Copies of this chain bind each other. A is one copy, B any other.
C-alpha cells in the first residue's frame, strides 16, 4: 500500500548520499502520500548501508503514530509533521547537515540572495530562523523546530514554495518540494548557493543583487510567462 512513497524516500536518501549532501546518519527525508494522511520517513540513526526500502517507516499525519515499520522513525519526525500539517503544497521534506548551509545556520545568517543561480529557484534570501527559547528547547523541541520554521515563513509573509528551504539556527538546512525528489533537488541547490555566497561574502561583505534582477530570473523560470526550459 505504501510501497511507492517508501521507494521515493529510499531513492531520495540514496541521492542525498551520492551528491555528498549527507554524511553518516546526518539527515532525513520524508514524503506524504496523495491522500495527505500518511508520510513515509527514514528510520532514526540508520545509515544507507543498513537500510532497505521496507525499513522506511509510515507515520499517520494526524496522530503522529507509526502505522507500519519495524523501526522508530527519525528523531525529527515531529518537525516534518508540523510542516505537512501547515502547508498543503509541501509533498516532500529533506533535512541535511551539508557543510556550507550549516555554516550559515551556525553564523545565524540568512543565505542572502546575491545572484541568478539563487533567483532561478528561490525568489529571495533563504531565511535563518531565530534561536529557540530555553523553554522551546526543553519541551517539544522537534515540534517547536517545525513551528519556528512556520513562524519565519509567515512573519516574512511569503509562499513556502517560492523559497523552498530554510536554515534552522545553529542546526542546519531543511528544504521541501512537491515530493521527496524535488526536496533533494532544492537541498543540492541550497548547498551550492551557500558555497558561492560564502566565497562572495569573503570577497565583498557588502555584496547585493538588484530587486529587478531577482524578479526577472524568478519569473523567467517560474512565473506565468516563464520561457526557460521546454
Q: Is the CB of B200 within 8 A of A103?
A: yes
Q: Is A15 an interface residue (CB 8 A)?
A: no
Give the number of times this chain occurs in the complex, counting copies: 4
Q: Is A75 an interface residue (CB 8 A)?
A: yes
Q: Are B171 and A99 interface neighbours, CB within 8 A?
A: no
* Contact across chains for A202 and B202 when beta carbons are under 8 A apart: yes
Chain B residues closer than 8 Å to A97, beta-carbon distance? 117
Which residues, 187 to 230 on A, are CB-close (under 8 Å) to B? 188-189, 192, 195-204, 207, 209-210, 212-213, 216, 220, 227-230
Assess the B45–A109 pair: CB atoms within 8 A.
no
Contact A213 B114 (CB under 8 A): no
A212 partner residues in chain B, CB cutoff 8 A: 134, 137-138
Q: Which residues of B contact A213 (CB under 8 A)?
A: 131-132, 137, 170
Scan residues 91-137 of chain A and give those whose CB is less than 8 A from a CB of chain B. 97, 99-100, 102-109, 114-117, 131-132, 134, 137
Interface residues of A (CB under 8 A from B): 23-26, 43-46, 71-72, 75, 97, 99-100, 102-109, 114-117, 131-132, 134, 137-138, 141, 170-172, 188-189, 192, 195-204, 207, 209-210, 212-213, 216, 220, 227-230
